[in-house]
Chain A
Amino acid sequence: MPGARPIDGIYRSPYLRGVTAPLQEPTFLILSALAAGPMHGYGVIQEVSALSAGRVTLRPGTLYGALDRLVEQGLVVQDGEEVVDGRLRRYYRLTDPGADLLAVEVERMADNAKAAAARLRRHVRGAATT
């Protein structure tokens, strides 16, 4: 892929070379949710649900497992906490490497979409299909 940054190599298809594999969808959505600003766990769940039009509903065990992993990889850090109505809210923030990774992923998806759109323009409507 022209213009791809080296970080691309980290996430490749589990099956075939050259078929670029996206980030796991929940990971992608969590990073996207945090891109707008720090958020607490409940906020991330709501935002992921909204971003995916209700398709992806994270449960807390899954969410915190994913957050642990992202923190471990340095893509997300904890960023302050507060207590609201006796409930602890801890906030998470996207780090610069996290933002870079998300940017690479977005670029990859945009390139794919652009390539598909270009080919679609050459498609002749109503031609016989095989």
Chain B
Amino acid sequence: MSPLERRYRRLLRSYPRSYRDARGDEIVATLLDLAPPGRTRPTAADAADLVEGGLRTRLGVATVDGLADGLHRAGPVALALTGGLSAFLWWRVEPLGPPTLGPVAYAAWLAAGVVALLAPARFTRPGLAGALAVTAAVPALAPLTAYDRPPLWVLMALSVFGLVALAGTDAFGRDAERRAAPALGAVAVACGADLVTHLWRGASGHPHTGYYQPAVAQAGIVVAAAVAVLAFLALYAARRGEPARPWLWATLLIALPGAWLGPFDATGWRVAGELPRFGRLAQVLLGTCLVVAAMARLRTSRAAAPAARPAAGNPQAVPAAKTRYAAPVTGTRHAVPSAGTPHAVPAAGAVLVGYAAGLLLFAWWLDAVTGHVAATAAVCAGAAALLGLPSPRRALPVAAAAAAGTLAAAYAVGVYSNDWTATGWGEPVRTAGLVAMLAVVPLAWGAYTAHRLPRRLPALAAGLLCAAWLAWLTLPGLPAWGPVLPVLLALPAARAVLSITPGRARTGP
């Protein structure tokens, strides 16, 4: 094996092993055929291409129905949002407080937007990758300067929108429409956010106080509007008998970071007992769980897809849908996730048990095992018992990993909620309450698993238990939910889209 081949094979490890076994030799052969004589190292562009291809394969972009097209549709929207939000934050929010390093990242995103608008298409992706790198570097660089870093919500949202834009843009030529649309969209986003700030101030007399509330939720409203437009396009496509799935994927891809942009400021809202307020942490957890559950549902509802697609009034497409299963390929089928694998049950149960153990351990360490903490742990353990645990040999590693993950996440929450101090936390009960809020993740997982299981009494009870405790943790803060609410409303819409039979919708002229 030549050094070059060995290096190509090392890069190929970004692909899943089964894919490598099936296609690795072929891809390496093509790479070697393409390499000019005398080359001993892969070029940076080849390396980036292989790593990206591996990530796409792992995420199932080629094999999950509608995901690749969905990325292509979400890409321009995400590009518009990075540009528009950057402009709004720089123009309206940054001047209100002490200066931060934010403008460095904003300038990078605006520059990437200008490159996408004006420069040759091959520079678009490097421009976006550069802006992503700058955004990632800002928190590391800030301590070296006299400036603060911008808040994490800004960096997280910009980074994920940027990732979607990067993944949804290819290096090939675009026409004027495709170039202009993201730029016009960015202007609309910036102006829309500005409009929201004016209306907001008028309505409640709320002072505009820089990066935190209400700026987060104001930006969130604009992103929620973009999500709503995408959801509407999905409905519209379904009505016209066209594939709605790509639009649904685009909706969810934009909704994921969009759901983080909250909550609405509900300082005056009451708090039930020791429940922590529905704050940023709860918002991010709840939003992420909702969107990821919807993605999982969309991904596994794949079985219905081939029937829906050719029914779009097109007999010619029927063979296409059929042959994809008959295709004599061993290389791609393996990557398809099988819906409702038997592993899903033990995973959720073991994760719930692991979380409960981690939560109790952490609260005990803080000396803050309150009634709320104990009840949350008991609910998680009860739901796990109802869902069922597999043999100890398989459940133990998962539960141990979940417990370790909970401890790590709990410590991070403690650091974050105590003003970024590593020790000497002042309010252990409050910290323990926030860590109990992490239960949203295992409970959502448990509820989703129960939903996917055959309807039997224990599964039903487990699902109800998980859902009820989720509701107790999050519903008291309903007025604060912010952009999560529109996302929640979009879920029944998505369900309606999937259930529309395109044949019927096509009866119009």
Interface residues of A, Cβ cutoff 8 Å to B = 5-7, 9-10, 12-16, 19, 24-26, 40-42, 45, 55-56, 59-66, 68-69, 71-75, 77-78, 81, 87-90, 95-97, 100-101
Partner among B50, B54, B57, B320 whose Cβ is within 8 Å of the Cβ of A73: B320
* B34 A97 Cβ-Cβ under 8 A: no
Q: How far is the CA of A69 from the CA of B243 in the complex (A)?
A: 16
B274 at the A interface (CB under 8 A)? no
Q: How far is the CA of A9 from the CA of B322 in the complex (A)?
A: 19
Could you say which of A56, A61, A66, A74 has the most chain B C-beta atoms within 10 Å of its C-beta?
Answer: A61
Q: How far is the CA of A81 from the CA of B331 in the complex (A)?
A: 14
* A14 B323 Cβ-Cβ under 8 A: no
| Chain B residues touching A, range | 35 or more
* A88 B49 Cβ-Cβ under 8 A: no
B56 at the A interface (CB under 8 A)? yes
Task: Give 4 nearest A-B pairs by CB, closest first.
Answer: A61-B53, A74-B323, A87-B29, A68-B62
B430 at the A interface (CB under 8 A)? no
Q: How far is the CA of A64 from the CA of B116 in the complex (A)?
A: 25
**15 CB-based A-B contacts, threshold 8 Å:** A5-B316, A7-B317, A10-B314, A24-B72, A24-B172, A40-B30, A41-B26, A41-B27, A60-B50, A61-B49, A68-B63, A71-B327, A71-B329, A78-B327, A87-B33
Q: How far is the CA of A12 from the CA of B319 in the complex (A)?
A: 21
Partner among B31, B57, B312, B327 whose Cβ is within 8 Å of the Cβ of A65: B57
Chain B residues with Cβ below 8 Å from A78 are 327-329
B308 at the A interface (CB under 8 A)? no
Q: A10-B243, A56-B172, A71-B332 are in contact. Are A90 and B26 (CB under 8 A)?
A: yes
Interface residues of B, Cβ cutoff 8 Å to A = 23, 25-34, 45-46, 49-54, 56-57, 61-63, 68, 72-73, 76, 170, 172-173, 177-178, 181, 240-243, 312-314, 316-317, 319-324, 327-329, 331-332
Q: Knowing that A6-B313, A41-B26, A45-B34 are A-B contacts, what are 9 other residue pairs whose CB atoms are under 8 Å apart, sorted by A's residue number?
A: A10-B243, A42-B30, A42-B33, A59-B45, A60-B49, A61-B51, A68-B62, A88-B29, A90-B26
Q: How far is the CB of A97 from chain B (nearest CB, A)?
A: 4
Chain A residues with Cβ below 8 Å from B243 are 10
Q: How far is the CB of B236 from chain A (nearest CB, A)?
A: 8
Q: How far is the CB of B177 from chain A (nearest CB, A)?
A: 6
* B321 A9 Cβ-Cβ under 8 A: no
* B242 A12 Cβ-Cβ under 8 A: yes
* A68 B332 Cβ-Cβ under 8 A: yes
* B30 A45 Cβ-Cβ under 8 A: yes
Q: How far is the CB of A49 from chain B (nearest CB, A)?
A: 10
* A10 B332 Cβ-Cβ under 8 A: no
* B53 A74 Cβ-Cβ under 8 A: no
* A97 B49 Cβ-Cβ under 8 A: no
A86 to chain B: closest residue by CB: B29
Chain B residues with Cβ below 8 Å from A75 are 320
Chain B residues with Cβ below 8 Å from A15 are 177-178, 181
* B49 A59 Cβ-Cβ under 8 A: yes
Q: How far is the CA of A40 from the CA of B26 in the complex (A)?
A: 9
Chain B residues with Cβ below 8 Å from A5 are 314, 316
A44 to chain B: closest residue by CB: B30
Chain A residues with Cβ below 8 Å from B46 are 59-60
* A73 B324 Cβ-Cβ under 8 A: yes
Q: How far is the CA of A3 from the CA of B328 in the complex (A)?
A: 34
* B170 A26 Cβ-Cβ under 8 A: yes
Q: How far is the CB of A1 from chain B (nearest CB, A)?
A: 15
Q: How far is the CB of B327 from chain A (nearest CB, A)?
A: 5
Q: How far is the CB of A19 from chain B (nearest CB, A)?
A: 7
Q: A24-B72, A72-B324, A78-B327 are in contact. Are A65 and B242 (CB under 8 A)?
A: no
Partner among B32, B177, B320, B327 whose Cβ is within 8 Å of the Cβ of A19: B177
Chain A residues with Cβ below 8 Å from B61 are 65
* B172 A65 Cβ-Cβ under 8 A: no
Partner among B26, B172, B324 whose Cβ is within 8 Å of the Cβ of A74: B324
B63 to chain A: closest residue by CB: A72
Q: How far is the CB of B53 from chain A (nearest CB, A)?
A: 3
* B181 A89 Cβ-Cβ under 8 A: no
* A74 B321 Cβ-Cβ under 8 A: yes
Partner among A24, A65, A71, A97 whose Cβ is within 8 Å of the Cβ of B317: A97
* B63 A7 Cβ-Cβ under 8 A: no
Chain A residues with Cβ below 8 Å from B62 are 65-66, 68-69, 72
Chain B residues with Cβ below 8 Å from A64 are 23, 26-27, 30, 53
Partner among B30, B45, B314 whose Cβ is within 8 Å of the Cβ of A6: B314
Q: How far is the CA of A69 from the CA of B323 in the complex (A)?
A: 13
